[in-house]
């Protein structure tokens, strides 16, 4: 599920946006 969300975020926001969003998700998960 996380990988799917990351792929969708990457498609919608682009590479930079996806990286920033991924960091936020990482903080929530950890």
Cα atoms found within 13 Å of the Cα of residue 16, Cβ hemisphere only: 0
Express each pLDDT in 1-30 by its tens digit. 788 877 777 777 677 777 887 888 888 877
Residues with Cβ < 8 Å from 20, sequence gap 6 or more?
13
CA distance 20 to 24: 7
């Amino acid at each position: 599920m996380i990988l799917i969300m990351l792929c969708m975020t990457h498609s919608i926001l682009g590479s930079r946006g996806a990286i920033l969003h991924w960091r936020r998700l990482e903080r929530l998960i950890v």
